[in-house]
Amino acid sequence: MLGLGSNISQSAYRSFHSNKSLDFVASSNNKVNFGPVNDIGTGDFTISVWVKRDDDTAQSSILQKRQDGDSNYYLRIDADETIYFRANVSRTAKIICQTASGAAGFASLWQHIVFVCDRDNASNCKFFVNGVENAVDGTPTLSTDNCDNTGDFEIGINGSVYFDGHMMEYSMWDVALSDTQVTKLYEEFNVTGKIRPTDLSALNAEIGKLMCWYRMGSGMLDFNYANAVGRLGLVSDSKSPYLAES
C-alpha cells in the first residue's frame, strides 16, 4: 500500500481557492484518472469525500480502481441512496459493505461521506454522513486477502456509470479511522454549516496514515503522495470543470 512520500509540498495546497469544486457531467463522461495508484492491499483503510449530487434518483458512481470486471474496488451511491462499497479479486467478493437505503441524504446539498473499513473487525466497519454514523446494513463481507489490482484509480465513474454533480476534498487513509478522528475530519471542513478550505497536514501529523488527498477545487489538477497527476477524462483544457460553488 502507498505511504507518505516527499514528492508533494503541503504549500502547494494552501493556494486552494474557496467556494470551488469539481463539476462532473455524466452525459459528457467526465472523470478524473490518476493512474495505477491507491491500492488497498491487505490492510485497513478509510475513504473520505464531499459530494453534491445533481440527481438522487439515479446511481452515483464516486470512484473505482478497476483492472477488469473480475478484479476491482468501487464506491457508489445507489438510486435508493444506499452507500455501497465492494472489492473483488478474480470474480470473488472480498469486501462488501453497505448502508441501509436513504443514508446518502438529499441531492443538491453537500454531503460528507466516509467509509471506514476494519478488515479484522466487522463492528468497526462503518459509514458516516456529515459526521454521523450510518450503520452497516446486515453482516459485511470482509477478508484480509490482497485486493491490489493493476487498474487505474478513477473518480467520477464505476464501470460505465458516471457521476452527475460536484465533488471535492477526496482523501484516503491507510488505517481505519476512529469515530473521533472521523469527527475531526468532518469538522476540519465544516464550520457553522459552511464548507471551508483547510489543510489536512495537522490531522495527518496526528494520524500519520494519509495515502492521498485530492482537493478537486484548487483550480489545478491534484497529486497524491506517489506524485500521481489526475487527468480529466474527455474535458479539454479550455473547458475546465472547476466552477464556483455557493
Q: Model-level pTM?
A: 0.82
Determine the pLDDT at residue 192: 54
Phi, psi (degrees; rounded to nearest 5) at 8: -120, 130
Phi, psi (degrees; rounded to nearest 5) at 186: -65, -45
As a whole number of angstroms, the distance between CA 168 and CA 213 comes to 10
Average pLDDT over residues 156-177: 91
pLDDT tens for residues 180-228?
Answer: 999 988 887 766 555 665 667 778 888 888 888 887 765 444 434 333 4
pLDDT band at 169 (very low <50, low <70, confident <90, very high): confident
In sequence order, what DSSP letters do the residues of 164-228 get, joined into one string?
-EEEEEEEEESS---HHHHHHHHHHHEETTEE----THHHHHHH--EEEEE-S-SSS--BBTT-P
pLDDT tens for residues 73-132?
Answer: 999 999 999 999 999 999 999 999 999 988 877 777 888 999 999 999 999 999 999 999
Cβ atoms of residues 65 and 154 within 8 Å: yes
- Other CB atoms closer than 10 Å to residue 86's CB: what's the count? 18
Residue 233 pLDDT > 50, yes or no? no
Determine the pLDDT at residue 63: 96
As a whole number of angstroms, the distance between CA 17 and CA 14 comes to 9
